[in-house]
Amino acid sequence: MDFSTGGFNFEGLARALLGDITGFIGFLVLAGGAFWLASKAVTASQNAGTLDAAGAVKARKTARLILTVASLIAVAALTWRVVNVASVNRIPRTDADKQDVYKQMNTISTPTPKQ
């Protein structure tokens, strides 16, 4: 695999994976928040006397296990998606002027100054 400028197209890979990476980060934040809430609920139950020390340890271990398994599944899914996107033939399309489609998109999205 050629990692020089004329080889692999990292911009195309990044653009193709933007939504997946955003979803992955959002999932990790959500899962971390859920774990934090579960930990606070266990602490509150233990302080209120409705949960003994052994039950609190078991509840925290279970929450940690669920977080770990869900995070590993998310990492595996993102890795699978990266491999799928990177293995597809992602040669930048060219048009009549022989520019990459991304350069054309940037040119189109740049407003022309008024004179």
> What digits encode the pLDDT tens for the residues 20-74?
999 999 999 999 999 999 999 999 999 998 989 999 999 999 999 999 999 999 9
Residue 92, pLDDT > 60, answer: no
The answer as to whether 115 is a domain residue is: no
Helix (H, G, I), strand (E, B), or coil: what is residue 79?
A: helix
The answer as to whether 57 is a domain residue is: yes
The answer as to whether 85 is a domain residue is: yes
The answer as to whether 3 is a domain residue is: no
Query: What is this structure's pTM?
Result: 0.65
Range of the domain at 19: 10-109
The answer as to whether 4 is a domain residue is: no
Task: Please state the domain count of the chain.
Answer: 1
Question: How far is it between the farthest Cα atoms of the chain?
Answer: 76
